[in-house]
Amino acid sequence: MVKNCISCHGVEKQKGGLRLDSGASIIRGGNSGPILIPGKSNESKILHAVRGKDPETRMPPEPKVLISNDQSALIATWVDQGAFIAKQDLVASSVVKKTPSTHWSFQPLVKPIIPSDSSSGWVRTPVDVFIYEQMRKEGLSPAKEADSLTLLRRVYLDLTGIPPSQLEVDAFLNDKLPGAYERAVDRALASPRYGEKWGRFWLDLARYADSDGYEKDTGRPFAWRYRQWVIDALNADMPFDQFTIEQLAGDLLKNSSAEQKAATGFHRNTLTNKEGGADQEQFRVEAVVDRANTTAKVFLGLTLGCAQCHDHKYDPISQREYYQFFAFFNSDTEVNIAAAPLPGEQELFAKKQQEHKSKVDVIKVSLDVRKKELGKDLADWAAKLKPEGVPAKLKPVISVEASKRTDLQKNDLINHRVSLDEKAKGIQKQIADLEKAAPAPTMAQALALGKERKTNIHIRGDFLRKGVEVDPETPGVLPAPITKEKLSRLELAQWITDKENPLTRRVIANWVWHKFFGRGIVTTLEDFGTQGEKPSNPQLLDYLAFTLGDNNWSLKSLHRLIVTSAVYRQSSIVEAANFKKDPYNIFLSRQSRVRLDAEGVRDVFLSVSGLVDQRIGGQSIKPPQPPGISELTYANAVKWNESKGLDRYRRGLYIWFQRTSPYPSLMLFDAPDSNLACVRRERSNTPLQALALMNDVAFYECAKSLGVSLANADLPLEGNIRRAFVTCLSRFPSESEMVQMKNLFDQFRKHYGSNADQAKQVLGNGTDLKGDVVLSAAWVAFARVLLNLDEIIVRD
Amino acid sequence: MKDETAMIRSQKLFDEYCLQGRRSFLTNQASGLGLLAAASMLAENKVQASGSDLSPFAIRAPHFAPKAKSAICIYLEGAPSQMDLFDPKPKLKELNGQKLPDSMTKNVRFAFIQKEGARILGSPRKFAKYGECGMELSDFLPHIATCADDIALVRSMHTEAFNHHPGQLMMNTGTPNFGRPSLGSWVNYGLGSPSQNLPGYVVLSAGRGTSGGTSNWSSGFLPTPYTGVLFRNQGEPVLNLNNPSGFDRSIQQASIEGIKNLNALRNEMVGDPEINSRIASYELAFRMQSAAPELIDLKSETKQTLDAYGLDRDEPELKASRGGGKGQFHSFASNCLLARRLVERGVRFVSLFHASWDHHSNLDAELKQNCLMADQPVAALIKDLKQRGLLDSTLVIWLSEFGRTPLGENRGGSANVTGRDHHPFAFSIWMAGGGIKGGQVIGKTDELGWNITEEPIHINDLHATLLHLFGMDHLKLSYKFQGRDFRLTDVAGKVVKKLLA
């Protein structure tokens, strides 16, 4: 065995979870269970394997090496004689030792020493020291600071997702005291828009959607309650460890609140397959697989899912460990909480409920009154009834003399009379209608512990092929949790955020950094394993990770540290010298120009055109979309009922996400499909995006609104153009830009001057116009150009 | 820096960019991707772009000489019944109403069939031999039958998935999981597309929506530009193609020019090559605004052609819950014709979807209706391509996610059996043109059509063969994502040599 087997089943590798280098592990067997039955060699897998003829299943697999007949006979004899293992061998080898991994990300996180500052004044924060050190080594020099308006727009887009308002720009320009920028940062961080912007980032990881996915793709009318929780938690700067624990195990916290249960909606965003004839167990297992994989990917940066079918090819994670991790989620059940009131909603709900109850009560009284009325001449009325005209139950009653009827019989008669009485029926309907419209509390999707379910290894990832049973446990390559009899999801969450865990803080700090620079310190945000990229600046990463934990896991503090740094404040202008040395800007000798995310594109359009709805949170909305989109869903089952009023103008993160027919302008700008956690979005640049920004109903509505407001402003041409430009781009136009724009406007004015019918078409009916139609149409066309500039959808 | 060549290439780009001025990049391609992102993506995945053109649709060399340049994939969503169309099983008729031996249904998971009362359902279809090859086909397909000598019929396809959405993902993306790129995305990623004014991957749909929706033509983890672009056969062919009311072509041109000039000024300030991609995208969008309507405008087609495809045939009334409603005949025929027009204009991959063929009940009437709709235009497409000399370089495929059971469907124990359930163990597809050896039948099933007895072909094998026809080795066409090299064929797939001409 030593010669033939242990290169695959020994200390280094344990294929199929099997070790053959110790007595105890031979007896224990592998992932699919024991390999031998003492006394029965013919029924023992080990002998089937070594004697087998099928090259696919035979062991050892290489055709050259074969276990000789003598050798296999020896094994058979040993098995038949009872597979005896000396006691000391069983004891000595029962502890399976694992070689500790030397991979960087698994090493303990210690606070790095900040190098001495050699920057001659460039450095603003400790972050910059690490950056400068490296830049110097690479022969790069930092870019100059971005001009103040660019910086303001940048930090507003990064923290709130919308450009600074005209008021904010003015306040900023008028703040001449030192620290004006830092004060603007604080205002942005305090804005409730922050929770929307960073909430959307988080929803990518949570694979948030408003429908089940798969064929039926049924809507999830309360999915948004989880989104609301995310927005509120981020706005409140909930410490990230708590943020993690509540989402993974809020339901298991002592006396958990409805709010904490709503947080577990994180793992309710898994797909549900309601297709007729689907095997429900198969898709339950798939949801559990997704919960395990997502948890590992989001918080630990591990590609745990690679170990679902076999031991991880590259990272020290065995298939057994995969199912130990899977076991944390395997007993969970999906529950919908009947009442998960939003903060402040409870009192309002109680009041509404009371009001509603009194309304119903009043009408119920009128029903009683009517009943009494009908009861007055009951005997006379009943006398006219014929047996064939009444329900069977009443037939004997009407034949009884009126005075001899029991109360029960009288009651039956009244009820019959009520059922025939138009007035009473009207009242009853009123009551029924009212009850249907009873105020309902907000519901939430949550996870809860169900009946305990045993977990087996799934051989080759197939849930129908059950291997040996395993208990919940964390991967052995990482520090073990404080031991407990049987670990639950709560202990898993606590272990994830434990200070001994080297991964979580690194992964989250890297994720945050990525959002501010368009690139992570580790570029493979989702893979901190051996196949991932190494950190470009390991000291910086550890500094950020350590600081996050040290500052009570405050994300806002981490943001502030980053956005006030000199490296963040650099200009994004590409300088040839630095570009040649570092084309991907790995060492950050400038800021990067980053195209906005899909929702951000919409948010900017809505903001600069003044249409954006200011309300935070709430249900998902369905803004106008081109015809023929929902028709792509299974049997055209999805109905897209366009939102009305202010709901049309809500920010992108509130758009109802229908998994099989997502809102097209989101997808055009690389929004994730929400089927799996997405840690990093693509940023494509396509003609279909151009067509959408020019012509899509929702985007054009913004252009039109901006154009009309420009037309209605009583300003001289140049002043109006400048105002439009500043509104859109938060900066002043250069002279040559001004010349271009004036020419363009002139062209548009001339065009519509000689095509007045087109001008009328542009404005349509019902536009509130102060000025002349031709000029107004020219302003709309002009606004459409402004909103299609590259700069509009880019964070500089 | 992971890849030296990527770095060198992007340096070269920047030099060129500085030398040639701002308008030299990405002028003619159907789509853009972040320039550096493209450089990085292509280099990391060892895909060789020609020259300095890093557009995702730049023409790239295949691994070896290709047979196919384009593909038209006709996807009959829901699973057409193979024993009523392609795989004659007289034995079923003989045993009609009898029970299958338990040993055959043991350990089999059905979507709807109740094992206890399930009985064999014979097919009333008449099969005859067609072409010189003598291919046996059903009387529901009289037109396709005339193309028998161009067709390679596979009767031994098998898959794992037996529910529609996972099955469709399996057939279109190679695994039953979400998030993988579809066939058309892979082919365009590997080869680029010669089309100048149209996207490299176009999707046309008729009937009602499919189970898979847009995931059937998703680019998965490949960059978004590789997503199939949905074209419509009437009205606005591409989403947002038409300008808002009151914007004619001249003001649109002035607007695009204005956008370009202002973007160029911005670029002088910030020096970001990405702005050039944006400029190119707007210019291409403008060209597409005339190319796409030209594409769907069938005025230049002769009456003979239109009649051959059957654009204006009568559409019999059939009240059926799973039909796509009135107008499908015209829609499906137009899509077949548009597929040829797209291929003529250099589009790399065209996918036609029609839903639904999921005949759990009322099979005879509804399958007849669907075949009446599809048979003539599909045959016309093959003949039209052939006559124009395009069939040799255009692969035409007829496929679906799985097949249907030899057992009648007794959902809920129903005795009124008029349809068949899902069957993943053996089903039929066919291919023609593009390097396929026509006039042959591959694979055999047992006399009940339950299991494959000869030459089983898995979906991964089919995909490996498809890539092979395009001159690509399925083992080499990979994309690095989340620490792993992913392939269309996942971890399996063998080229089916017998299919090749």
Size of interface A-B (CB pairs under 8 A): 260
**Would you say residue A44 has pLDDT above 70?**
yes
Domain boundary among A414, A436, A458: A436
Neighbours of A345 (CB within 10 A): 14
Tens of pLDDT along chain B (501 residues) come to: 334 444 344 444 444 433 333 222 332 233 334 445 555 555 555 554 444 455 678 888 899 999 999 999 999 999 999 999 999 999 999 999 998 888 888 888 888 888 888 889 999 999 999 999 999 999 999 999 999 999 999 999 999 998 999 999 999 999 998 889 999 999 999 999 888 789 999 999 888 888 888 889 989 888 878 989 989 887 788 989 999 999 999 999 999 999 999 999 999 999 887 888 889 889 989 999 999 999 999 999 999 999 999 999 999 988 766 767 788 999 999 999 999 999 999 999 999 999 989 999 999 999 999 999 999 999 999 999 999 999 999 999 999 999 999 999 888 777 788 999 999 999 999 999 999 999 999 999 999 999 999 999 999 999 999 999 999 999 999 998 777 789 999 989 999 999 999
Q: Cα separation of A441 and A345, whole Å?
A: 8
SS3 B346: coil
> Residues A6-18: what's their mean pLDDT?
80
Question: Could you tell me which of A84, A83, A47 has the C-alpha nearest to residue A67?
Answer: A47
The pLDDT value given to residue A13 = 77
Q: Cα separation of A691 and A501, whole Å?
A: 48
Burial class (CB in 10 A: 0-12, 13-18, 19+), A388: exposed
Interface mutation target, options B251, B256, B352, B410, chain A, most CBs of A under 10 Å: B251
Nearest to B258 among A637, A692, A744 (CB): A744
> Residues A540-564: what's their mean pLDDT?
97
Q: Cα separation of A31 and A467, whole Å?
A: 5
Chain B residues lying within 8 Å of A583, measured CB to CB: 7, 10-11, 14, 36
Neighbours of B332 (CB within 10 A): 27
Task: Encode pLDDT of A480-497 as tens digits.
Answer: 887 777 899 999 999 999
The pLDDT value given to residue B38 = 55
Q: Cα separation of A71 and A357, whole Å?
A: 85
More confident residue, A696 or B1: A696
Q: In this structure, which long-range contacts are made by residues B138-141, counting pairs with CB atoms below 8 Å and at least 24 apart in sequence?
A: B138/B84, B138/B85, B138/B86, B138/B88, B140/B84, B140/B85, B140/B367, B140/B368, B140/B371, B140/B375, B141/B85, B141/B371, B141/B375
Give a yes or no: residue B388 inside a domain: yes
C-alpha distance from residue B364 to each of A737, B83, B422 (Å): 68, 12, 16
Q: What percent of chain A has pLDDT over 70?
A: 98
Two tokens, residue B377: 């235009």
Name the residue range of residue A39's domain.
Answer: 15-97
Q: Are A229 and A269 in contact (CB under 8 A)?
A: no
Give a yes or no: residue B207 inside a domain: yes
pTM: 0.83
- Partner-chain contact B285 A694, CB within 8 Å: yes
Q: Are A253 and A494 in contact (CB under 8 A)?
A: no
Give a yes or no: residue A722 inside a domain: yes
Task: Tell me whether A632 touches chain B (CB under 8 Å).
Answer: yes
Cα atoms found within 13 Å of the Cα of residue B317, Cβ hemisphere only: 1
Give a yes or no: residue A628 inside a domain: no
Q: Cα separation of B413 and B411, whole Å?
A: 5
Name the residue range of residue B352's domain.
Answer: 70-236+291-499
Q: What percent of chain A has pLDDT over 90?
A: 63
Q: Residues with Cβ < 8 Å from B467, sequence gap 6 or more?
A: B186, B187, B190, B473, B474, B477, B488, B489
Q: Which of residues 271-310 of A touch B (CB under 8 A)?
A: 271, 273, 275-279, 303, 306
Neighbours of A794 (CB within 10 A): 24
Can you say how many angstroms the Cα of residue A194 is from the centroid of all Cα atoms in its chain? 16
Give a yes or no: residue A372 inside a domain: yes
Give a yes or no: residue B386 inside a domain: yes
Beta bridge partners of B60: B49
> Residues A188-217: what's their mean pLDDT?
96
C-alpha distance from residue B412 to each of A690, B163, B356, B358, B416 (Å): 52, 18, 22, 17, 11
> Residues A507-534: what's their mean pLDDT?
94
The pLDDT value given to residue B42 = 55
The pLDDT value given to residue B6 = 42
Domain boundary among A79, A97, A115: A97
Choice among A324-338, A372-386, B212-226 with the minimum mean pLDDT: A372-386
Interface mutation target, options A663, A685, A704, chain B, most CBs of B under 10 Å: A685
CA dihedral B62, B65, B66, B67 (to 10 degrees): 180
Give a yes or no: residue B264 inside a domain: no
Counting the structural domains of chain B, the total is 1
Task: Encode pLDDT of A423-462 as tens digits.
Answer: 989 999 999 998 888 888 889 999 999 999 999 999 989 9
Give a yes or no: residue A703 inside a domain: yes
- Partner-chain contact B14 A529, CB within 8 Å: no
Give a yes or no: residue B354 inside a domain: yes
> Residues A653-670: what's their mean pLDDT?
93
The pLDDT value given to residue B37 = 52
DSSP string, A572-630: -PPPHHHHHH-TT-TT-SS---EEPPHHHHHHHHHHHTT------S-S-B-----TTSG
Looking up residue B474, the CATH number of its domain turns out to be 3.40.720
- Partner-chain contact B285 A762, CB within 8 Å: no
Domain boundary among A436, A458, A478: A436
Task: Encode pLDDT of A603-633 as tens digits.
Answer: 999 999 999 999 999 999 999 988 888 877 8
> Residues A207-213: what's their mean pLDDT?
96
Give a yes or no: residue B215 inside a domain: yes
Q: Cα separation of A686 and A101, whole Å?
A: 44
Counting the structural domains of chain A, the total is 3
Q: Are A227 and A199 in contact (CB under 8 A)?
A: yes
For chain A, how are helix, strand and coil distributed in percent, rounded to 5?
55, 5, 45
Crossing angle of the two packed helices A345-376 and A422-436, in degrees rounded to 10: 170
Beta bridge partners of B487: B478
Burial class (CB in 10 A: 0-12, 13-18, 19+), A37: middle
- Partner-chain contact A273 B272, CB within 8 Å: no
Beta bridge partners of B407: B120
C-alpha distance from residue B102 to each of A239, A770, B106, B117 (Å): 60, 82, 6, 11
Chain B residues lying within 8 Å of A764, measured CB to CB: 245
Question: Could you tell me which of A605, A538, A69, A511 has the C-alpha nearest to residue A300?
Answer: A511
Neighbours of A762 (CB within 10 A): 26
- Partner-chain contact A687 B270, CB within 8 Å: no
- Partner-chain contact B285 A691, CB within 8 Å: yes
The pLDDT value given to residue A88 = 67
Give a yes or no: residue A414 inside a domain: yes
Write out the H or E segment, with its range, that includes residue A763: helix A756-763
Q: Residues with Cβ < 8 Å from A499, sequence gap 6 or more?
A: A549
- Partner-chain contact A306 B483, CB within 8 Å: yes
- Partner-chain contact B36 A584, CB within 8 Å: yes
Chain A residues lying within 8 Å of B284, measured CB to CB: 687, 690
Task: Tell me whether A138 touches chain B (CB under 8 Å).
Answer: no
C-alpha distance from residue A734 to each of A738, A783, B35 (Å): 6, 18, 27
**Would you say residue A181 has pLDDT above 80?**
yes
